[in-house]
Structure 1
Amino acid sequence: MSKPLLTTVAAACALALPALAQARQLTLSTQLKNYGGNGAYLALYLVDAKGAYARTLWVAGGKAKYYKHLADWNRLSAGDARRLAGVTGASVGAGRSLTVTAELADALIDAGYEIRIDAAAEDMRDSPAEVRVPLSAANAGKAQAGRQYIQSFSYQLR
């Protein structure tokens, strides 16, 4: 390798390592109530302090035709062409749990962001903003009850 190339590679690594150190793993745990219906579609996403969409964390349910029932998330994230890139899985059955992880920049924690979950189940009432919880170090590990389908939701920061 030439000396200028080595210098460039070293500089790139020096810049990239602090960025990696500033990312945290966010583990999201959702326990559904035994509501007696089909599997629920869930959209777990972040909004900023003004309520504007920031990022999709996970979508449970693979048929896009049902995403309209996740009304707030669908409306807020419609302009995000990458909203589903690597963040989808199967719907979650009544009484079952969902645990997923995402990488999250440290700068988002305690910065006014909020985790929201929209929920819907076939032939049942939609539940936009089923869960709303501020993304803060103080809220990590604390269970939050949902309004209709979610028994409890919590997150861990690592």
Structure 2
Amino acid sequence: MSKLFKFIIFTGLVVMANPTLSSAQTGVTNKYKCMIQMSNYMGDGAYIVISLIDSKGLYDKTLYVLGSDKKWYNSLKEWNKFYAKKTATISAITGASVAGGDRSVNVIDIETAKINAGYKLRFESAVEDKNYYVKDVEIPLTTETLSAKNEGTGFIRYVRFSAN
């Protein structure tokens, strides 16, 4: 048997035998289609950021950004503070802004270990010369909320998820 093959078998056995080497540590994710239905409002397209919030209420990760012009990111005030510190590349998780009455469907990756583990999903929204909603939608990250319709409080009418 080659050394590589023995190593692969050994590693597989160790992972199966050790419950602490779970999906939480290996970064296993599931893809979800996230449909955002906007309320009817007049004006420019909304910039929306979807963030993963930890159990202490702190930003853990940016999951998706609707609105690609970085000069407007400062209008998403709370998220921008987090984003400015992390300076992570978000180009792969960025799409177009969304106008009033429209809907947007995007695919987001969510780590399976963070579902039902005290995390939340936060949708912040802002429109030029209009209001900013830090918690337009904020929901516990649970299997129940990922299969329910979640109402917005600002520019977002509601959000729905479906497993991809």
> TM-score with structure 1 length normalisation?
0.85
> Structure 1 regions of 5+ residues with no counterpart?
none
Question: Is residue 2:110 matched to residue 1:104?
Answer: yes
In the alignment, structure 1 residue 128 sits paired with structure 2 residue 128: no
Equivalent in the alignment of 2:37: 31
Task: String of CA shifts for 1:68-120, please: whole Å, max 9, x gaps.
Answer: 11112112333223251411011111111111112222110000100001111
Cα distance in 1 for residues equivalent to 2:106 and 2:119: 19
Deviation per CA, 1:10-65: give whole Å up to 9, x if none. 566786xx858943222211100110111110001110010111111110111111
Other structure's SS at 1:140 match: helix
Percent identical across equivalent pairs?
28
Q: Within 1, Cα distance between the matches of 2:27 and 2:128?
A: 42
**Secondary structure, aligned partner of 2:116:** coil
Q: For 2:97, give the aligned amino acid.
A: S
Larger helix fraction of residues: 2
After superposition, the Cα gap between the structure-2 partners of 1:156 and 1:11, relative to the gap in structure 1 and judged at 3 Å, is farther
Worse-matched range after superposition: 79-88 or 39-48: 79-88
Match status 1:46 vs 2:52? yes
Q: What is the alpha-carbon distance in structure 2 between the residues aligned to residue 44 and residue 23 of structure 1?
A: 16
Which residue does 1:7 correspond to in 2? 6
1:53 touches 1:77 (CA, 8 Å); kept in 2? no
Pick from 84, 87, 103 the counterpart of residue 93 of structure 2: 87
Which runs of no fewer than 5 residues in structure 2 stay unpaired? 16-21
Helix, strand or coil: the match of 1:110?
coil
Residues 1:57 and 2:63 aligned together: yes
State the alpha-carbon separation in 2 of the partners of residues 118 and 21 from structure 1. 25
RMSD: 2.4
- For the residues of structure 2 that align with 1:11 and 1:102, how far apart are their CA atoms? 33
